Amino acid sequence: MEALKKVEDFERLKEHGKTVFMFSAEWCGDCRFIDPFLPEIEAENEDFYFYYVDRDAYIDLCAELSIFGIPSFVAFEDGEEIGRFVSKDRKTKEEINDFLAAL
């Protein structure tokens, strides 16, 4: 999963197609729990572009989007938010895939 490099990229990336931003942090145990199956989730959901957003590096963006718990996922299609799976709870591969399938 490609990491967001600067906040301006967020605005540009969310404008093109179906894009999912995963908000996470290196120190987050529940975020590390999902790391092993993220490549499978990406492969099973090829109609989405996926980007990793480091919560600590983009704390203002997180506040703007009301992302207070991680790991969290926010999905956009052509600039419009189409869904969010936002909480501080651990997420399973099945829960993430169900979220994406419902979009």
Give per-residue burial for 82-92: e unless 16+ CB within 10 Å, then b.
eebbbeeeebe
Is the four-CA dihedral 52, 71, 76, 79 of positive or negative sign? negative
**β-sheet bridge partners, residue 48:** 18
Helix (H, G, I), strand (E, B) or coil at 14: coil
Omega prior to 71 cis, within 30 of 0: yes
Pick left, alpha or beta for residue 43 (phi over 0 → left; psi -120 to 50 → alpha; otherwise beta).
alpha
Residues with catalytic roles: 28, 31
